[in-house]
Amino acid sequence: MGPTGLRFDPDGLIPAVVQEADTGEVLTVAWMNGEALRETLRTRRTHFWSRSRQTLWRKGDTSGHRQHVTAVYADCDRDTLLVLVHQDGVACHTGSRTCFFAAVDGLAAPTDVAGATPRGGASAPEWAEAAGILDRLGRVIEGRKVAPPAGSYVAGLLAGGDARIAKKIGEEAAEVVVAALGETPERLVAEVADLWFHTLVLLGAHGLSPGQVLSELARRHRAAGPTRGVEPAARGADAASEP
C-alpha cells in the first residue's frame, strides 16, 4: 500500500488515466509514483514517472501542452487513478488531441445509442479530436470576457449583452432552417456550427460552460435509457400526445 492507501505495483507505480474534465474525453494513460502523485496534488499540474528515463517529469514543460488538474480519483480497488484536467493544446506527442486514435480492426466505428454508425463517415480519431473543441471554445470565450481584446468579434458580442447575443442566435437559427429546407448538407453543417458557436457565447456571458450542457445531455441519456437516448423531456401538449 502506498500514500493515501493506494495500491502501487512492485515498482512503486500506479497507472493514471487522464480525462478532460468538461467533456469526458480520455486523453492519455501514464504512470505515477508517490512523488509524482504528491506533486500533482500540490501544484495542480500533472506529474508522471518516466519508466524509460527513470525520472519524474511534468506534462507541458517542453511542449507547452499543460494539464491543469481539477480532481484525482482512485478506482474501487485503489490501484488505478483517474485524473481530471483542463488540457492546454494536445495531449499526445504525435500532435493528436488524444493518445487514443489508433483504431483496433473491427472495433473502430463510433456508434450512437441505438448502435448505428453515425452518418457523415467521421472516423474514431476525428471524433476524438473534435470532442474537446467545445471546451476549448468555451475557454476562449471566457478569456475574451475577462480580458476583451480590441476588435474581437466575441468581445463585441459580450459587450452588447444578452439582447445582442440572443438576436444573433435568432438570426443563426433562421439560417439553419433555410439551409435544412433547400441547401447543401455542407451548408447545413456550416450554419449549425454558427448557431452552436453563438449559443456558446451566450453560455459564456452567463458564466456557464459547454461542459454543463454536455453533463445535462448525459444526465438525460442515463435517465431515459438506450431506447430514447438524449431526447428532451416532453412538455405541455406534447406530453399528452406521446404514446
What fold, for 3-87? Ubiquitin-like (UB roll) (3.10.20)
Is pLDDT at 147 greater than 70 in this prediction?
yes
The x, y and z cell numbers of residue 143, run together, are 478569456
Q: Of how many residues is the chain composed?
A: 243
pLDDT of residue 87: 87
Is pLDDT at 42 greater than 50 in this prediction?
yes
For the chain, what percent of residues have pLDDT higher than 70?
A: 79
- The one-letter amino acid at 81: L
DSSP 45: B
DSSP-based three-state secondary structure for 16: strand
Residues facing 15 on adjacent strands: 31
pLDDT of residue 46: 98
3-87 against 132-232: fold identical: no
Give the model confidence (pLDDT) of 210-226 as tens digits.
888 888 887 887 776 65
Could you tell me the residue ranges of all domains in the chain? 3-87, 132-232
Is pLDDT at 126 greater than 80 in this prediction?
no
Confidence bin at 232 (pLDDT 50/70/90): low
* Closest alpha carbon to 4 in 55, 67, 58, 79: 79
- Cβ atoms of 165 and 202 within 8 Å: the answer is yes
Q: Work out the mean pLDDT of the chain and round it to a whole number.
A: 83
Which residues have a Cβ under 8 Å from the Cβ of 180 and sit 6 or more positions away? Answer: 188
- The one-letter amino acid at 22: D
Q: What are phi and psi of 223, to 5 degrees?
A: -70, -35
Is pLDDT at 127 greater than 90 in this prediction?
no
Query: What is the value of pTM for the model shown?
Result: 0.52
CA distances (Å), origin 40, targets 20, 23, 59, 67 = 16, 21, 10, 10
Is pLDDT at 242 greater than 80 in this prediction?
no
CATH number assigned to the domain covering 132-232: 1.10.287.1080
